Chains A and B, each alone.
Chain A
Amino acid sequence: MTRRSFFARNPSALIFIACLAVFTLAVTLMSEGYGAGFISTSFVKTLGKTLCLCLVALAMDLIWGYAGILSLGHMAFFALGGYMIGMWLMYARTEEIVVTALAQGGLPATPEEIQQGIATQIFGVVGSSDLPAIWSFAHSLPLQLILALAVPGLLALVFGWLAFRSRVTGVYLSILTQAMTLALALYLFQNDSGLRGNNGLSGLQNLPGLGDTAQDLVSIWFFWASALALGLGYLALSWLVSGKFGSVVRAIRDDEARVRFLGYPVEVYKLFLFTLTALIAALAGVLYYPQAGIINPAELAPIASIYLAVWVAIGGRGRLYGAVLGAAFVSLLSSLFTSGRLPDIPLGPVSLNWVDWWLVILGLSFVAVTLFAPKGIGGLFDRFQHIGSPDRKGAQLGPDDGSLQEQEAQK
């Protein structure tokens, strides 16, 4: 039997890439930087950020939807990546400012003076004037880019090794990852963590060396980069899950013990997936935060990772396009409702303020999706394609797991 091409086996990947290309082109043609100007620069940034969120949702889908590991820590990896690139952005940008300021002092600046000036500029806000050791590589973009992947990757590797080695699974693993995220957030909230405490890093939208370039253009460049990363990420992940590797991963989700008895090193598979998805999340963070312009420890509060799970669940787990759809749909809707631009709805004596009640709607609709539509938005595509799950209606015959249902028993 001849092997069919990758796209023939995965038509959804081809469709997705085509849609993404059309979308990117359309946004470019309507942007202020290169096109007709129908879309404001700030909305281009929102779209670019959304693409990054779609990328991290892909990672979440791989680890949760395919491998069944509900990690509540992937937004921590995302934010760590953002912090690492933010360090370079802030350092290089401050360096430009400091050099300009010192040049007006009469003498050309020495390296020590520049270093001192940068440290004072960046850390004056937390009452310090020394550059912490973790900023040692901040002067170099390549080194900091390596760190942006290496730091979250190593953290995921060590944490995953510890957790999987001791066979922590299911909800315990979820709680453990949540605790890790909380610990990291609390650590970064301190002023002496070396990353400016709760002030976070700011001014990241100003790219060093591109001070004269308008944000109209920069925003489109980042939009392209995000779209490219999302497209490549989608292709890579759909290749990964379509082969034998993907089958093993899905088998681990469905019955971990059986896969282990068949001789597969389950822990290695899980650790690889955990680290890989952490790297993807970090990459998404690297692209996200220059568009957002600011990062602070609140970004990696446990709630952020929960939202990530919510997006994937609403989009539909276990299918890559579901994750992308869910992330795009919910995060765009969320920014619409919390923008404060929607008018209040008067309901008799009180009025419904969308900013106040959006979280209530999100929480409850999420419960509804979990209860009534476990397949999420992706389930609509199944219905369209007439793929249904086996009909297991009817009351259970016993209270134990896996007991037969009434109608199954009659057959």
Chain B
Amino acid sequence: MRLTACILAAILWFAPSLAIAQDANAIVTENRAQIEKPSRQTIGPVIAALAASGDPMADDILTAWEDRRLVIRKSDQAMFIAVPEGDGFALTALDGTAAGTAVAADLTALKPNAGVRGLIATVLVQFTLSDPDPAIRAEALASIARDPTAEALEPLRASLVSEADPALKAQKERLERFLTLRFDADPAARVAAIESLGTDTSLDVRAALNPLVATKRIASLGDPPGNLARTLTPGTDLTAVEAYDILVAASLAPARLTLEDQRTALLANIVNGSVGGVPVADLDTQEARNRAYTALEVAGTVPTAATDDEVTAALAAHSFHEVYVEPDATVTSAATATLAAIDRKVAFMQAADLGLDALSLAAIFFLAAIGLAITFGVMGVINMAHGEFITMGAYTGFVVQLFIPDYTLSILVALPLAFAVTFGAGVAMERLVIRHLYKRPLETLLATFGISIALQQILKNVFGTQARPLTAPGWLDGALEFNDVVSISYIRIAIFVLALIFLAFFLYLMKRTRLGLEVRAVTQNPAMAASMGINPDRINMLTFGLGSGIAGIAGVAIGLYAKVTSEMGADYIVQSFMTVVVGGVGNVWGTLAGATMIGSLQKVIEFLNPSNTLAAQTYMILFIILFIQFRPRGIIALRGRAAGD
């Protein structure tokens, strides 16, 4: 730190006297002896003079010197910059002119030690930071940000004044604060830099602050040395084993005897079929082995190992602490306070992000379930093949993309086509199978499951078991990012919008159209509806086809963000039924509420246990089973006659 300041002082002092009229070559010639045998203490002014000379060659000379490529030709003792070329080296004279080639044997390379190289590097950083090319300056900044060092601080500050590009200047100022808060000599300057960050939630701010509050665990006999973070109590803050390991690592106590070591020691000391007086055949309990080992210890054949009593005594004698690696308490407390403020803000943002995730998952569940809300919720027909209709929709999208390479156009074609395909499949299924089973709901469940098994296998046979791509248009790539924490991908936004459109469509259809009126009439009382001139058969067929068709469209949407396999629909079937049942049968608002609840719940559980999405699903299903105990008819229950039974 002080050394860097010296260099800066040297630049200021020597620059006018040494450099103004001189070129780099002349400086080198003048200080030849020092350059050949540089010492860290005295070489500073020479490097500073080179740096300040303004000669474009100075950069090359310093780079070569640092790289051990500054060479002396043995024949005439002249100095060159060498670049490896073929078997030998291409030489460049110090004034920039080419000077032929030479083999390694004819050259002596200057080998500056690590300290000198560090000095050179610092000066070189300043060169690149003040380079006329903004791209090189940006690259230099990025490399410092990646690997911040104390040496980079001074050149960075020096280059701030001359920076013309406002964007780069802002970057430099930001980086200067990061370096200041870690490396500045003056604690007050560091605290000021920390506090100037405010509640900036960027990742780089947190990355810069976190090293300041890094801690390590130490054990001590008396008062703890250093900047204390907190005192640890063995048994509560850390286990006794961990505490003893700290003691052993600090050589404050002998290592504990591991069972493996004990076994080896015993094996090595078998004499006439017994160890320490205990027959080998009896060594099948830990207690017997301990006895044998103690006998060996007494005889002095094995080293003494810490017994449990000694371990307890050693733990009691020492106190354990967590100390900051950073020695200055004002800096750590400022950093802790700033980090706490940032953490609070980040927590809010994470909650917002979680909310967005939950909404988008809810939209997916809603899309998958809304077809069921029609067939199961309105008609009361259970359709286990609903998942396969979703899959069929997704495969329709895949096939369309085989023929129409333009992704935007193909999705626009795929959506109505998927509706048509699954509408047809649904109507066929209703006419052929379900129509005959309206009075036997359990058998509808099983028959549609038979269809589901068959459809899934047919799709597998036709399209294979590997996942097929359904590519979203380019304008749906990427994500809408609010900041480092809160972001949502455009595909999920599109799915959300699609879900809203379906909700509106469904409400319009049921409440404002003739078909919706007839559907509601047939649902409530088929006999009365029939006597009013409505054909229940036709309405049932259309309703079922509609529910299936919507499943097909949902399949296209889900296929855009998940892989299309023959089993993708089956993954959604149980969740979809849960959505409808939890929300309340026969009411689209209920389905919406159910999807929102299940989506949020799953995201929250995943947030609490992020490593384990399987467990999240398990707990969610358990929750739903319990939920149905308390609201058997779902969140929004139908009342009165519409509720049926």
Contact = CB atoms under 8 A, between A and B. Distances in A.
B446 A309 contact: yes
Interface stretch (A41-49, A106-114, A134-142, A144-152): A106-114
Interface string A299-338: 0001100100110010000000000000000000000000
A189 to B, nearest CB: 5
Contact of A366 (B259, B267, B447, B621): B447
Interface string B23-52: 000000000000000000000000000000
Contacts of A108: 280-284
A400 B527 contact: yes
Interface residues of A, number: 58
A356 B270 CA distance: 64
A168 interface: yes
B266 interface: yes
B373 to A, nearest CB: 14
A367 B578 contact: no
Contacts of B441: 170-171
Interface residues of B, number: 58
B574 A370 contact: no
A345 to B, nearest CB: 14
Nearest to B611: A192
Contacts of A291: none
Interface string B505-544: 0000000000000000000001100100000100000000
Given A175-B577, A399-B526, A366 B614 contact: no
A174 interface: yes
A15 interface: no
B614 A189 contact: yes
Given A108-B284, A362-B453, A179 B445 contact: no
Nearest to A184: B618
Interface stretch (B172-180, B324-332, B431-439): B431-439
A196 B449 CA distance: 31
Interface stretch (B211-219, B406-414, B454-462): B454-462
A360 B456 CA distance: 8
Contacts of B345: none
A367 B442 contact: no
Main secondary structure of the interface of B (DSSP, over half): helix
Interface in B391-447: 433, 436-437, 439, 441-443, 445-447
Contacts, number: 163
B615 interface: yes
Interface string A370-405: 110010000000000000000000000011110100
B466 interface: no
B447 A186 contact: no
A398 B461 CA distance: 43
Nearest to A398: B527
Nearest to B436: A371
B498 interface: no
Nearest to B578: A179
Given A162-B625, A303-B453, 16 more contacts: A107-B266, A108-B282, A108-B283, A170-B442, A175-B577, A176-B625, A179-B624, A180-B625, A186-B614, A306-B446, A306-B453, A357-B461, A360-B458, A360-B461, A371-B433, A371-B436
8 contacts: A107-B266, A162-B626, A179-B624, A182-B574, A306-B446, A360-B458, A363-B457, A367-B451
Interface of B: 259, 263, 266-267, 270, 280-286, 289, 382, 433, 436-437, 439, 441-443, 445-447, 449-458, 460-461, 526-527, 530, 536, 574, 577-578, 581, 612, 614-615, 617-618, 621-622, 624-626, 628-630, 632
Interface of A: 68, 70, 105-113, 159, 162, 165-168, 170-172, 174-176, 178-180, 182-184, 186-187, 189-190, 192, 302-303, 306, 309-310, 313, 356-357, 359-360, 362-367, 370-371, 374, 398-401, 403
Kindly list the 5 A-B residue pairs having the minimum CB-CB distance in the complex, ordered from nearest.
A363-B454, A363-B453, A366-B450, A183-B621, A108-B284
